[in-house]
Amino acid sequence: MHLKYESSTREPLVEGNKTYHQVTEDICKPIEQKPSRLWYIGFFFSISLLLFGVFSVFWEVYWGIGVWGINRTIGWGWDITNFVWWVGIGHAGTLISAILLLFRQGWRTGVNRAAEAMTIFAVMCAGQFPIFHMGRVWDAFYVLPYPNSRGPLWPNFNSALLWDVFAISTYFTVSLLFWYSGLVPDFATIRDRAKTNLRKRLYGLASFGWTGTAKNWQRHEALSLVLAGLSTPLVLSVHTIVSFDFATSVIPGWHTTIFPPYFVAGAIFSGFAMVQTLLIMVRKIFKLEEYITLAHIERMNKVIVLTGSIVGVAYLTELFMAWYSGVEYEQAAFKWRILGPYWWSYWAMMSCNVISPQFFWFKKLRRNVPFTFIMSIVVNIGMWFERFVIIVTSLYRDYIPGSWSYYSPTWPEVGFYLGTFGLFFTCFFLFAKYFPVIAIAEIKFILKTSGNNYKEKMAPIEEKSVEEFAHEMEHAH
């Protein structure tokens, strides 16, 4: 019998009658088959979005930042909104892969590979915005502290914007390493069952010559655990530092201590919504419903309702603090947010983020796939508006009424945003075709404890009394 035992009251994580080999077959199938028509349509649509994005960025770089709608009052517009939005989305991937590993949540194995891919692609998209927002993008490398011929003149290490440079680049690097170290054994699996020469060679390169010796696995487990331990505070630090971009300034509406936890909760909230959007499509297109089960979707919806409620509490706390502080500038900032010309963005944020996730208190709705899919998009629209509200509606009515302004994006700004969608989905489509979208080795690791067919075999044990079971286990050897 297997060495571990899990109660049958827990839902199985792998449905159907799976053996180790069947797991390999199911997950490798999309890689070894010709992609479906749906894949081609999606891929070429993403590529064309990406090309439009490239053109929009080219337009901005060629003519200068003036082609965007931002002005002297509203210096941060769609660009920084999109930056914060994309970084936030990335956070769910690390939460699933790192924090849930530390908490020993077995269900993470079904979704962690795709979620982490999402993290990496989302951070890639996010990074574009501050870089092109600099205007003279060819000087972007000035943010790096390298010995230069200007003194050497160093960047300001006390600036929250520079902290961001370090936070985002570290986050990207560590996520990539964590993700790839998990991919290496799975690439070896594909290499060893490859039928074509090219596939054998390419996956041979990608798998680093992995053969799966006991010692290698031992080190692999140690590495995963420590990387998870490093990623956990890292992911919390990244959105904390992003919130410092605002919180360390003296703009009413930004200068609050609630920002770091509020941003982190919002990031996890929007990230889980994006994981739902992607995985509901992936499980349908690649027929992986037995690995990404309703139980997985329900658990993620629970995280969404929790973090959504935290975000809601944060919104109300902000309003309370504005009133309670007695600072009229703070009060004015919130008054203009709610009642000013941007009232629609505030109420879009409130209804999408605070009201809509409350539907997930109902079990029926948590387990309803089409409803979850729609909600996941609603939540991400809401979280985009949250960033828009924080950024634009804190800036547009500043201290001098003479400089009050209004802002709407121009086509290169919208094109840039659409272009990052193109980048994100192009990467994700390539990932879904050429990479194992579910961690093969990790699913096998939990199969005999949490697989449906193995759990059924535990039925006789369930019927035994605790004393009887303990007695038998003692004399098992």
Partner 1 sequence: MAIKKFAVACYDDEAVLFPAIDKVRNSGYKLHDVYTPFPVHGLDQAMGLKETDLHIAGFIYGITGTSTAVGFMSWIFTKDWPINFGGKPHFSLPAFIPITFELTVLFAAVGMVLTFCYLNQIMPGVKKHVFHPRQTDDTFVVAIELSEHTSEAEVLAFLKSTGANETNVQVAESEWWYGRFDKKEAYELS
Taking CB under 8 A as the criterion, the residue among 189, 307, 309, 426 binding partner 1 is: 189
Instruction: Give DSSP secondary structure letters for 164-187.
Output: HHHHHHHHHHHHHHHHHHHHHHHH
Could you identify the residue written with the tokens 């995280």?
303
Stretch in the footprint of partner 1 (CB under 8 A) among 37-45, 351-359, 418-426, 437-445: 437-445
Taking CB under 8 A as the criterion, the residue among 65, 67, 134, 230 binding partner 1 is: 230
Q: Is 450 in the site for partner 1 (CB under 8 A)?
A: no
Stretch in the footprint of partner 1 (CB under 8 A) among 97-105, 262-270, 338-346, 442-450: 442-450
Residues contacting 77, CB < 8 A, separation 6+: 68, 69, 70, 391, 392, 407, 409, 413
Q: Is 166 in the site for partner 1 (CB under 8 A)?
A: yes
Tell me which DSSP letter residue 154 carries. P
Q: Report whether 244 contacts 163 (CB < 8 A).
A: yes
- Which of residues 127 and 382 has its CB atom nearest to partner 1 in the complex? 127
Q: Report whether 265 contacts 240 (CB < 8 A).
A: no
Taking CB under 8 A as the criterion, the residue among 10, 29, 136, 219 binding partner 1 is: 219
Residues contacting 306, CB < 8 A, separation 6+: none
Closest CA to 297 of 270, 278, 323, 325: 278
Q: Is 327 in the site for partner 1 (CB under 8 A)?
A: no
Is 469 exposed, middle or buried (CB count within 10 Å of its CB: 0-12, 13-18, 19+)?
Answer: middle
Cα(314)–Cα(50) distance, rounded to whole angstroms? 35
Taking CB under 8 A as the criterion, the residue among 92, 183, 241, 375 binding partner 1 is: 241
Stretch in the footprint of partner 1 (CB under 8 A) among 261-269, 308-316, 377-385, 440-448: 440-448
- Which of residues 9 and 158 has its CB atom nearest to partner 1 in the complex? 158
Cα(141)–Cα(404) distance, rounded to whole angstroms? 34
Q: Report whether 273 contacts 311 (CB < 8 A).
A: no
Q: Is 35 in the site for partner 1 (CB under 8 A)?
A: no
CB of 226 to partner 1, least distance (A): 5
Q: Is 3 in the site for partner 1 (CB under 8 A)?
A: yes
CB of 185 to partner 1, least distance (A): 7
Q: Is 206 in the site for partner 1 (CB under 8 A)?
A: yes
Q: Is 227 in the site for partner 1 (CB under 8 A)?
A: yes
Cα(448)–Cα(429) distance, rounded to whole angstroms? 31
Taking CB under 8 A as the criterion, the residue among 279, 442, 450, 454 binding partner 1 is: 442
Q: Is 453 in the site for partner 1 (CB under 8 A)?
A: no
Return the exposure string of 343-380: e unless at least 16 CB atoms fall within 10 Å of the residue's CB, then b: eebbebbbebbbebbebbeeeeebebeebbbebbebbb
Stretch in the footprint of partner 1 (CB under 8 A) among 168-176, 251-259, 285-293, 321-329: 168-176
Site for partner 1, residues 7 to 26, rule: CB under 8 A: 19-21, 24
Cα(176)–Cα(183) distance, rounded to whole angstroms? 10
Could you identify the residue written with the tokens 């990335």?
90
Q: Is 234 in the site for partner 1 (CB under 8 A)?
A: yes
- Distances from the Cα of 6 to the Cα of 47, 293, 450, 452, 466, angstroms: 45, 18, 7, 11, 14
- Which of residues 379 and 443 has its CB atom nearest to partner 1 in the complex? 443
Q: Is 29 in the site for partner 1 (CB under 8 A)?
A: no
Q: Is 457 in the site for partner 1 (CB under 8 A)?
A: no
Q: Provide the 3-class DSSP secondary structure of residue 152.
A: coil
CB of 108 to partner 1, least distance (A): 15
Cα(458)–Cα(450) distance, rounded to whole angstroms? 11
Q: Report whether 229 contacts 50 (CB < 8 A).
A: no
Taking CB under 8 A as the criterion, the residue among 82, 97, 112, 237 binding partner 1 is: 237
Taking CB under 8 A as the criterion, the residue among 8, 218, 249, 408 binding partner 1 is: 218
Taking CB under 8 A as the criterion, the residue among 55, 329, 371, 445 binding partner 1 is: 445
Taking CB under 8 A as the criterion, the residue among 145, 285, 295, 306 binding partner 1 is: 145
- Which of residues 36 and 173 has its CB atom nearest to partner 1 in the complex? 173
Taking CB under 8 A as the criterion, the residue among 129, 163, 246, 416 binding partner 1 is: 163
Residues contacting 29, CB < 8 A, separation 6+: 286
Q: Which positions touch partner 1 (CB under 8 A)?
A: 1-3, 19-21, 24, 145, 151-154, 156-158, 160, 162-163, 166-167, 170, 173-174, 177-178, 181, 184-185, 188-189, 191-193, 204-206, 208-223, 225-227, 230-231, 233-234, 237, 241, 244, 440-442, 444-445
